[in-house]
């Protein structure tokens, strides 16, 4: 018995030494050295790797310095604010460069052909890069973050909810929600002497899109939906605030103030979603509804012929994750698309009248200049060659959408300017490359909700433009910022005017 304790201690020491060797020597020292060497041999360079920290400190310093930049409203080149490190390293190291997000290698590319291969023709060899755990807690490990057989299974369940016939049925709800918002704004304007008011249109659109997604996809009331969005946004803010911190192993398990708040929010988010899901499950009917949630439940609870219980297509936890994903994506992306569209129409008022006929072109140009999603990331599941670049397994590839959307060789000399007419012959002829617009990605992993977002945006703008014209408020500060998506840092205050007053 006397030998048992020493042997146990020896075993623990061996395990600890093995982990220390694998984590410290192999992952934090040897792997960065070998990967950097492999890319240097291909002529690809980048900022030096620093132990554990990688390039995070440099990125954080550059981002903090850039945060003080304020742009003119006619200046749509916000890249120095949101991506100063990419601009600096591109200038310093060339069109493809390697950098380190902590100990994790990332290669940034700017070539459309490489992007096409990664997102489309060779997409089966790539998976989504691992997102921060706090971000996953907020938006869920749903369709947009899944890979392999799980992605196929979820896609088959969810795809019918976004068929065109289903989207057309949602139009009535979208218009009703939009008209409700417009009526409220109209009442406020009517109480003024000059027929105009100042409103933060970003806030209005966030509440509107929350209302739309709550009703169309989940059949829930706005109050429950609003609570979901509130919690999600706080979780995302926590994730982004700690994104550039040096990650210490085990820190996420300690009861720090930030971790305790995160745990409470995660619990509240799950509770709110269960309040939406459980009444459907408690129904005596086998019909769970004709919206996204109903289709997920219907498919998941289906039984085989003869009354035998079939295998669940999605578990309750998976349904909760999909609810998180579509609440967040369906709310944020459309609200931001609408926000930046109104911004561009405010500083280019001549397009407000044209928009009534050319709405598709204006929305596409907004997505080119102010795409809510900023940086796509993929990593190869095996060693692979893309173009002439050899990518080792697990090295994340960053595709910087806003930088590529301003490539003058692809989009023309006016790439930094607002020009919806570039889309007058369609998306594929707007640039020298047919797949140049990356707002919804491309290939089999293109955004499943893109038609939903565009339909909602058109419905809202059609109602808004029937009643109001708008201009940028003198209180607006043009400072686009990245908080997982591209947002106006200080909101978007605009002056709304009733059209009959203007005329």
Q: Where are the domains of the chain?
A: 109-502
CA atoms 358, 364, 370, 373: torsion sign: positive
Q: What is the dihedral of CA 469, 474, 479, 480, to 10 degrees?
A: -10
How much is the pLDDT for 348?
92
Dump strand ranges (E) for 52-154: 97-101, 104-108, 126-128
User: Contact at 8 Å (CB) between 55 and 47?
Assistant: yes
75 Cα distance to chain centroid: 24
Q: Do 337 and 453 form a contact (C-beta atoms < 8 A)? A: yes
What pLDDT score does 304 carry?
44
Let me know: does 452 contact 167? Beta carbons within 8 Å: yes
- Looking at residue 328, its pLDDT comes to 85
pLDDT at 354: 85
Residue-by-residue pLDDT tens, the chain, 503 positions: 445 557 666 666 666 666 666 667 778 888 999 999 999 999 999 999 998 899 999 999 999 999 999 999 999 999 999 999 999 999 999 999 999 999 999 999 999 999 999 999 999 999 999 888 888 888 889 888 999 899 988 988 888 888 888 888 888 889 999 999 999 999 999 898 888 999 999 999 998 988 888 888 887 666 777 888 889 888 888 888 887 777 766 777 788 888 899 999 999 999 989 988 888 887 766 677 778 888 888 877 654 444 444 444 788 889 899 899 888 887 888 999 999 999 999 999 999 888 877 889 999 999 999 999 899 999 999 999 999 999 999 999 999 999 999 999 999 999 999 999 999 999 999 999 999 999 999 999 998 889 999 999 999 999 999 999 999 999 999 999 987 889 999 999 999 998 864 44
pLDDT of 187: 92
* pLDDT value, residue 503: 45
pLDDT tens figures, 190-239: 898 888 999 999 999 998 988 888 888 887 666 777 888 889 888 888 88
The pLDDT tens digits for 407-461 are 999 999 999 999 999 999 999 999 999 999 999 999 999 988 899 999 999 999 9
Instruction: Return the pLDDT at 100.
Output: 95
Q: What was the pLDDT predicted at 307? A: 42
Say if CB 39 and CB 107 are below 8 A apart.
yes
Q: What's the confidence (pLDDT) of residue 267? A: 93
Q: What is the CA radius of gyration of the chain?
A: 25
The answer on whether 108 is annotated among ligand-binding residues is no
List the Cα angle 142/148/149 in 5-degree steps: 85
User: Do residues 432 and 439 touch, judged by C-beta distance below 8 A?
Assistant: no
Say which residues have a Cβ less than 8 Å from residue 449's Cβ, sequence separation at least 6: 162, 326, 329, 330, 333
Phi, psi of 398 (to 5 degrees): -100, 130
109-502: CATH topology is: Cytochrome p450 (1.10.630)
């Amino acid at each position: 018995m006397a030998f048992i304790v020493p042997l146990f201690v020896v075993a623990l020491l061996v395990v600890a030494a093995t982990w220390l060797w694998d984590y410290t020597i192999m992952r934090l020292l040897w792997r960065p050295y070998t990967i950097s060497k492999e890319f240097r041999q291909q002529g690809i360079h980048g900022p030096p790797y620093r132990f554990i920290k990688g390039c995070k400190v440099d990125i954080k310093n550059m981002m903090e310095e850039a945060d003080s930049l304020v742009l003119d409203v006619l200046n749509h080149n916000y890249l120095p604010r949101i991506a100063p490190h990419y601009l600096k390293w591109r200038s310093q190291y060339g069109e493809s460069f390697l950098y380190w997000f902590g100990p994790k290698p990332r290669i940034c590319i700017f070539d459309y052909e490489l992007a096409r291969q990664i997102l489309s023709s060779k997409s089966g060899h790539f998976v989504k890069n691992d997102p921060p755990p706090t971000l996953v807690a907020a938006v869920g490990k749903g369709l947009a973050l899944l890979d392999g057989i799980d992605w196929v299974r979820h896609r088959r369940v969810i795809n019918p909810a976004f068929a065109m016939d289903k989207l057309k049925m949602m139009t009535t709800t979208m218009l009703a929600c939009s008209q409700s918002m417009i009526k409220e704004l109209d009442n406020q304007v009517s109480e003024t002497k000059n027929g105009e008011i100042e409103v933060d249109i970003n806030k209005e659109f966030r509440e509107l899109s929350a209302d739309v997604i709550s009703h169309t996809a989940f059949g829930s009331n706005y109050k429950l939906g609003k609570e979901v969005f509130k919690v999600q946004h706080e979780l995302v803010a926590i994730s982004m605030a700690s994104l550039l911190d040096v990650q210490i192993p085990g820190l996420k398990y300690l009861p720090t103030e930030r971790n305790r708040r995160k745990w409470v929010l995660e619990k509240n988010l799950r509770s709110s979603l269960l309040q939406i899901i459980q009444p459907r499950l408690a129904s005596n009917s086998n019909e769970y509804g004709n919206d996204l949630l109903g289709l997920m439940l219907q498919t998941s609870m289906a039984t085989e012929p003869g009354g035998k219980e079939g295998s669940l297509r999605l578990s309750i936890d998976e349904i909760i994750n999909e609810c998180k994903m579509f609440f967040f994506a369906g709310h944020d992306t459309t609200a931001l698309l609408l926000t930046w569209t109104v911004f561009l129409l405010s500083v280019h008022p001549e397009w407000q009248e044209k928009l009534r006929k050319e709405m598709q072109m204006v929305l596409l140009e907004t997505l080119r200049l102010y795409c809510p999603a900023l940086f796509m990331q993929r990593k190869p599941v095996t060693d692979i060659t893309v173009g002439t670049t050899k990518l080792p397994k697990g090295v994340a590839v960053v595709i910087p959408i806003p930088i590529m959307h301003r490539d003058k060789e692809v989009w023309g000399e006016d790439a930094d300017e607002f020009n919806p007419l570039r889309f007058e012959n369609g998306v594929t002829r707007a640039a020298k490359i047919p797949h140049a617009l990356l707002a919804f990605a491309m290939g089999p992993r293109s955004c499943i909700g893109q038609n939903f977002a565009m339909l909602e945006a058109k419905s809202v703008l059609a109602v808004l433009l029937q009643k109001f014209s708008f201009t940028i408020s003198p209180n607006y500060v043009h400072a686009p910022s990245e908080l997982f998506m591209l947002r106006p840092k200080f909101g978007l205050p605009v002056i709304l005017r009733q059209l009959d007053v203007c005329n």
